[in-house]
Amino acid sequence: MLLAILFTTLLSVKSIPTPDGYKRVSTDGFGTYLRNLKLKNDKTVYLYNHEKKLNQDAQFAVIDMSVGDMDLQQCADAVIRLRAEYLFQSGKFSKIKFTNVQGTVLQFKPPYDHGHLTLFLEYVFRFCNSYSLNKEVKKKTYGI
């Protein structure tokens, strides 16, 4: 019952309590974007075809973001999607680019609307993977 009460009070990622002995560090940019992502009212995960994922015990909360209706978003694609959504919302359209496994840079181009971003990402999900993330993001370390 306590978990149900806790879960119904969650509004965004930042409302998830930290583990005992840990605290959140101040952040800006992408970190702030991630912390402010809205959560669904329940933790049920649905697949692209609207069927429930088999293992429903693997998640504590679910971000309120559609995965579309194609079986494209796998593993690294989740981070690619979050990064692209952040850059889009920040108006940093020229930074929305990912390198495919052949080394070709796939660049988001006008029109800069969300429908076009969705189409661009569907293409990216077909040809990019963890290699792309390694090429596009910089490692950031925090003092502990």
The answer on 58 and 94 residing in a single domain is no
Strand ranges in 21-107 using DSSP code E only, listed in sequence order: 97-99, 105-107
Higher pLDDT among residues 116 and 139, named by residue? 116
Residue 74 has pLDDT above 90, yes or no: no
The answer on 61 and 18 residing in a single domain is yes
pLDDT of residue 65: 93
Residue 5 lies in a domain: yes
Domain end residue (candidates: 38, 65, 92): 65
Read off the pLDDT of residues 27-72 as tens digits, 9 standing for 90 and up. Answer: 889 999 999 999 999 999 999 999 999 999 999 999 999 988 999 9
Residue 140 has pLDDT above 80, yes or no: no
Q: What's the predicted TM-score (pTM) here?
A: 0.84
Residue 144 lies in a domain: no
The answer on 7 and 57 residing in a single domain is yes
For residue 90, give its domain range: 70-139
Q: Give the confidence band of 8 by pLDDT, cuts at 50, 70, 90.
A: low
The answer on 132 and 86 residing in a single domain is yes
C-alpha distance from residue 104 to each of 5, 78, 101, 143 (Å)? 48, 20, 7, 35
Domain end residue (candidates: 36, 65, 94): 65
For residues 96 and 86, give the distance between their C-alpha atoms in angstroms, rounded to a whole number. 9
Domain count, the chain: 2
Domain end residue (candidates: 12, 33, 65): 65
Residue 42 lies in a domain: yes
Q: Averaged over 101-109, what is the pLDDT?
A: 94
The answer on 54 and 76 residing in a single domain is no
Residue 40 lies in a domain: yes
Residue 116 lies in a domain: yes
